[in-house]
Each structure stands twice: as structure tokens, then as C-alpha cells.
């Protein structure tokens, strides 16, 4: 009988040795020791605020893991697994958007009890989210100069992201591998029109392009939901990091990672 078959039905499977537990594998004690409110006396909703944003950073870590693999596989000429990775990120982004509902359960008055303690910390300083944007194609070298409190390792990570190929570079690599010319805008749009018009021949390429659009759309929906959350909490006040708050967030809603895939719609 195969070993895995035995383990499936052995009531004691997993107990051999007794070294690994749920708590030790997931490092639950260390994880639950990472929430330290700054308010004194502690504001009731500060724990909510901390947990939500730490959860975002964990999801961002997973997204980078998935997007890096998608990009690398596209550079290697693959189409199937990159789409799978992007589909997973789309599902993650839905969770990120829905988590804002939990923040909305906090009233502006409750937020004001501890908001002043946050300055100059700000979501603007999320290195992982900027990595996601850079990897997705929204590369902004000026961000490294505008970032307050950037450590040298963080600066190096972002600088590396600026130099590395993006997901769009990966997609263009696949287009070239099947014979399309991607040297300029007109040739790329012509190639994309051909892909869109002959899905029987280029189905995997079209599906992957749509997965990139899904990823782009999910990021835009997250930005839009974030704007509403910020305006609901602080109105037109500046952000804790010194940004223009809601006005800054609103200015980024229309950003597109893959503008040529959106412009393709007008060319069909």
C-alpha cells in the first residue's frame, strides 16, 4: 500500500514525533505579539486598525510571491501558470477590497482618538504595495525621493524593482516568442488586434492579456474603495504622512498598468 494512502487513513497520522503543531508551524505566539497600540489610554479601535493593516501586508507578501512567479514564467514563454497566478491575485484583491468594510465600521470620532499618534506613519509608506505597483508596470523612480523613513534595505528593494522586468515586459516577451513585433506602439496594437481577432490560434495569449486586465482593474477598484474609506474617515484633511489625503488617493484611481490593453478596446 502506498505510504500516502496509509497516512490518509491512519488516525495517528501527524502525531509521530509530536514536534510540529499548529502554533509552532504558523508561529502564532510571535504573530499575536506584533500588535502594539500607541495610544494611552488605549483607544478601543486602534487594535482593529493595526490588525487590518498587518493583514494587508501579509496579503501583499503573497501577491508579490505570485506576481514574481507569473512574470518569470512569462519571460520563459509560459502562458498557463502565469494566468493561474494572476487569477489568484484577483481573488486576493477581492479580499483586500472587502476588508475595507471592517475599517468602515470604525467611526471618524473613534479614529480621531488615536490618529494623531500615527503621524508621520502612512499607508503611503507601504514598501510592499509599491513593489506590487512597480512589478505591475507603474514604475515611479521619484517615489524613492518622496518616501519618508525609507531604510536602506527597503530603498534597495524598490530600486531593484525599478530595474527588473515588469509583468508587461513578460507579456511582450511571450508575444515576441510567437513571432509578433513589439518594437513600437503601432506594431504592438496591431499584434494585439490580431490576437484578439483570432482567439482560436492565440487563445492562451488572449486569456493571459485578459488576466492582466483583471489585475489592473482589481488594483483600480482597490484604489477607488480606499479613497471612499479615507474620505469617510478624515474628509479633506491631509494624510498622516503629509500627503493630500483623499485628493492624492483620488488622483491615482485612473492609473493603468497596461494602457495598451485598455486602448485595444477602441481599436477592435
Phi/psi for 21 (5° steps) reads: -125, 170
The answer to whether the annotation marks 9 as part of a ligand binding site is: no
The answer to whether the annotation marks 111 as part of a ligand binding site is: no
Give how far the C-alpha of residue 227 lies from the chain's centroid of Cα atoms, to the nearest Å.
16
Please state at what angle helix 199-234 crosses helix 259-267, rounded to 10 degrees: 120
Give how far the C-alpha of residue 28 lies from the chain's centroid of Cα atoms, to the nearest Å.
24
The answer to whether the annotation marks 240 as part of a ligand binding site is: yes
The answer to whether the annotation marks 215 as part of a ligand binding site is: no
Residue 245 · residue 123 · CB < 8 Å: no
The answer to whether the annotation marks 115 as part of a ligand binding site is: yes
Residue 107 C-alpha cell reads as: 467611526
The answer to whether the annotation marks 51 as part of a ligand binding site is: yes
Q: In whole angstroms, what is the distance from residue 206 CA to residue 195 CA?
A: 6
The answer to whether the annotation marks 36 as part of a ligand binding site is: no
Length of the chain: 268
The answer to whether the annotation marks 195 as part of a ligand binding site is: no
Binding residues for substrate are 49-53, 115, 240
- Residues in the annotated binding site for heme: 226
Q: Which residues are annotated as a binding site?
A: 49-53, 115, 226, 240
Amino acid at each position: 500500500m502506498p505510504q500516502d494512502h496509509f497516512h490518509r487513513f491512519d488516525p495517528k497520522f501527524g502525531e509521530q514525533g509530536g514536534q510540529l503543531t499548529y502554533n509552532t508551524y504558523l508561529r502564532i505566539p510571535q504573530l499575536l505579539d506584533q500588535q502594539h497600540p500607541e495610544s494611552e489610554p488605549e483607544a478601543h479601535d486602534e487594535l482593529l486598525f493595526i490588525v487590518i493593516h498587518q493583514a494587508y501586508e501579509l496579503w501583499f507578501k503573497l501577491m508579490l510571491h505570485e506576481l514574481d512567479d507569473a512574470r518569470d514564467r512569462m519571460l520563459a514563454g509560459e502562458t498557463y501558470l502565469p494566468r493561474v497566478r494572476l487569477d489568484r491575485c484577483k481573488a486576493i484583491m477581492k479580499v483586500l477590497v472587502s476588508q475595507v468594510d471592517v475599517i468602515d465600521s470604525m467611526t471618524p470620532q473613534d479614529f480621531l482618538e488615536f490618529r494623531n499618534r500615527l503621524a508621520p506613519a502612512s499607508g503611503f509608506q507601504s514598501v510592499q504595495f509599491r513593489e506590487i505597483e512597480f512589478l505591475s508596470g507603474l514604475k515611479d523612480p521619484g517615489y524613492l525621493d518622496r518616501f519618508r523613513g525609507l531604510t536602506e534595505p527597503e530603498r534597495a528593494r524598490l530600486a531593484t524593482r525599478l530595474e527588473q522586468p515588469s509583468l508587461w515586459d513578460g507579456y511582450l516577451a511571450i508575444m515576441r516568442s510567437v513571432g509578433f513585433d513589439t518594437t513600437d506602439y503601432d506594431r504592438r496594437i496591431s499584434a494585439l488586434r490580431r490576437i484578439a481577432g483570432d482567439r482560436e490560434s492565440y487563445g492562451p495569449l488572449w486569456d493571459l492579456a485578459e488576466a492582466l486586465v483583471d489585475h489592473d482593474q482589481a488594483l483600480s477598484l482597490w484604489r477607488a474603495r480606499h479613497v471612499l474609506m479615507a474620505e469617510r474617515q478624515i474628509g479633506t484633511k491631509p494624510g498622516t504622512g503629509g500627503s493630500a489625503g483623499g485628493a492624492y488617493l483620488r488622483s491615482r484611481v485612473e492609473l493603468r498598468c497596461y494602457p495598451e490593453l485598455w486602448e485595444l478596446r477602441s481599436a477592435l
